[in-house]
Amino acid sequence: MTTLRIATRRSALALAQAEEIASLLSTNAFRSEIVPMSTSGDEGVSPESSPSGMKGLWVDRIVEALRSGEVDLAVHSAKDLPAEDEEGIVVGAVPERADPLDVLIGRQEKLNPGMVVGTSSIRRRAQLLAGFPGIGVAEIHGNVDTRLRKLAEGEVDGLILARAGLARLGVDPPNARTLRIDEMVPAPGQGCLAVHVREEDRSTRAVVSVLDHLPSRRALESERALVQLLGGGCDLPLGAFAATRGDRIRMVAVVATADGAKVIRNGAEATEPAAVATAVAERLRAEGAERILAELQG
Residue spans per domain, the chain: 4-94+192-212, 102-178, 213-298
Confidence class of residue 266 from pLDDT cuts 50, 70 and 90? very high
Q: Assess whether pLDDT exceeds 50 at residue 121.
A: yes
- Residue 114 CB-density burial (10 A; 0-12 exposed, 13-18 middle, 19+ buried): exposed
Active-site residues, by number, are 80
Which has more confidence, 53 or 166? Answer: 166
Q: Assess whether pLDDT exceeds 90 at residue 38.
A: no
Mean pLDDT, the chain, rounded, equals 91
What local confidence, expressed as pLDDT, does residue 108 receive?
87
What local confidence, expressed as pLDDT, does residue 50 receive?
47
pLDDT in tens, 204-251: 999 999 999 999 999 999 999 999 999 865 567 899 999 999 999 999
What mean pLDDT comes out for the span 15-21?
Answer: 97
Q: Assess whether pLDDT exceeds 70 at residue 283.
A: yes
Q: Give yes or no on whether 102-178 and 213-298 have one common fold.
A: no
What local confidence, expressed as pLDDT, does residue 298 receive?
57
213-298 has CATH 3.30.160.40 classification: yes
Q: Assess whether pLDDT exceeds 50 at residue 186.
A: yes
**Domain boundaries 4-94+192-212, corresponding CATH code:** 3.40.190.10
pLDDT in tens, 140-182: 998 999 999 999 999 999 999 999 999 999 999 999 999 999 9
What local confidence, expressed as pLDDT, does residue 294 receive?
81
Q: Assess whether pLDDT exceeds 70 at residue 1.
A: no
pTM of this prediction? 0.92
What local confidence, expressed as pLDDT, does residue 41 receive?
63
Into which CATH architecture does domain 102-178 fall? 3-Layer(aba) Sandwich (3.40)
